Amino acid sequence: MLLKLAFKNIFRYPIRSFLTMLGVSVAILSFGILSTVVDSWYAGAEGASSARLIVRSSVSLMFPLPLPYRDRIKRVDGVQSISWARWFGGIYKEPKHFFPQFAIDPASYLDIYPEYLVSNEHKQFFLKEKRSVLIGRKIADEHNLEPGDLMTLKGQIFPGNWDFIVAGIYDGKSKGTDTAQFFFHWDYLNEEIKKRGISRDKESVGVFIVEVDDIDKVGFVAQSIDEIFANSPKETRTETEKAFQLGFVAMTEAIVVAIRLVSYVVIIIIMLVMANTMIMTARERLWEYATLRSFGFGKFYLNGLITIESCLLALFGGAVGIALTFPAAELFRSSTGTLFPVFEISDSTIVTQFAFALLTGVFAAIFPAWKANTVNIVGALRAS
C-alpha cells in the first residue's frame, strides 16, 4: 500500500520529479567519474608487488646509478633476481601523445614482471632484436600499431631521432595492470649513447628492480643495499615498489585531494536540492497529511510514505547515474589516451554511488517527515 501510494505521489508532478531525478543522476555520475579518476591515480601503487624493491639515487631520480652496482646488490642475502630500467623521455609524433618509455634489460625485466603477458613468438623476437620494442595494448590501440611497425621517437634527454621496430604487444594479467608503457633494450640505448657522442651517464641506469625471495626479508634487504653504498659518491635509496609509486602520487596529492573534495561537494549540493524539492512537496500536501492523521493514520505511516517516496526518487536517479557511469568512463578513457594507464570503475565506487543515492533520499525526507508529524490538523484542514 505504502509503495503503491509513493509511486503515485512521485508522478503527480512529473516535470518536477523528472528534474529531481535528473539532478541526482548527474551528481551520482559526476561522483563516479571523479572517484575513478582518483582511483586511477593510485592504480600503480595498488598493482605494485610487495616482494619487489626499487633501488634509486638517494638524491633524485634524475641522477642515474652505475650499472656495476648490480653485481654488489646481487650478493645481498635475500635477493632472488635483479633487473634495471632507465627513463627515456621521448616524443612520439606530438608531445600530447605521452606514454612512459623505459630502456630495460629484457630477459630479467620480463621475468620479474610476469603480469605483462606477451606471446612467446613476440617475446623471442624482442629478446633477439636490439632495435625492437614491446608496447602495451593501450598504446597499440591508440596509435593503431601492430608487430613489425616502425616507431620513431624524438629524444629529449637523449637528443636525436630514435627508430624502433614493434616486436610485440603486451596485455595485462589483470584490469589493474598498466598497459600504456614502452620497453626497449638498455644495451641499444647504451651503445647509441656512445656512437652519438653523448658523453654523460654511460653504463648507467635509472633504477634497479630487486625481487626478494621472502617477503619477510624486504626490510632487511632494503637496509642492507643502502648500507653497501652509504658514503659512496652515489648513495642509494631502496624502498618497496608500492612506496616508490606512492612517491609520485604525493607530488600531485593536492590535486587528488581537490578532486575528491569536489566529488563530495557535488553529493552535498544534490542532497540540499532534493531536500528543497521534498520540502516544497510537503508544504503542498499539509492538508493531505492532516486528513490522514484525522483518519487515524499514525506518524509511522506518514514517515514511511514520505521516506519511501524520497528514496524512490533518489534511487531512480541514482540507478540512471550509475548506468551512465560506464559509457561516460569509456568516453573519458578514449579521450585521454594513455594519460590514465588504468581507468576502471571499481566495485567500491558503484557501492558508494548507490549508498550516496540512498542517503540523499533519506536526508531529503527528514524535514518533510517532521513537518507531517507536527502539523496542526484543524489548522491545516481549515486552510485547505
Please name every residue paired with 163 in a beta bridge, in sequence order, or none if there are none.
152
pLDDT < 70 stretches in the chain:
1-2, 44-47, 199-200, 250-251, 287, 339, 375-384
C-alpha to C-alpha distances, 327 to 32, 36, 293, 355, nearest whole angstrom: 12, 13, 47, 21
Rg of the chain in Å (alpha carbons): 30
Q: What is the pLDDT of residue 378?
A: 58
pLDDT in tens, 55-73: 999 998 889 999 999 999 9
3-class secondary structure for the chain?
CHHHHHHHHHCCCHHHHHHHHHHHHHHHHHHHHHHHHHHHHCHHHHCCCCCEEEEEECCCCCCCEECCHHHHHHCCCCEEEEEEEEECCEEECCCCCCCCEEEECHHHHHHHCCCEECCHHHHHHHHHCCCEEEEEHHHHHHHCCCCCCEEEEEECCCCEEEEEEEEEEEEECCCCCCCCCEEEEHHHHHHHHHHCCCCCCCCEECEEEEEECCHHHHHHHHHHHHHHCCCCCCCEEEEEHHHHHHHHHHHCHHHHHHHHHHHHHHHHHHHHHHHHHHHHHHHHCHHHHHHHHHCCCCHHHHHHHHHHHHHHHHHHHHHHHHHHHHHHHHHHHHHHCCCCCCCCCCHHHHHHHHHHHHHHHHHHHHHHHHHHHHCCHHHHHHHC
Element (H, E) at 163: strand 160-172
Residue 154 CA, distance from chain mean position: 29
What 3-state class would DSSP assign to 73? helix
- What would the DSSP string read from start to end of 234-303? S-EEEEEHHHHHHHHHHHTHHHHHHHHHHHHHHHHHHHHHHHHHHHHHHHHTHHHHHHHHHTT--HHHHH
Give 245's contacts (C-beta < 8 A, 6+ positions apart). 44, 45, 48
Q: What is the pLDDT of residue 123?
A: 95
Sequence ranges of the domains in the chain: 2-43+253-383, 59-234
Q: What is the pLDDT of residue 333?
A: 82
Entry pTM: 0.78
End-to-end CA distance of the chain: 25
What 3-state class would DSSP assign to 349? helix
Q: What is the pLDDT of residue 46?
A: 67
- C-alpha cell belonging to residue 382: 481549515
CB 364 within 8 Å of CB 275: yes
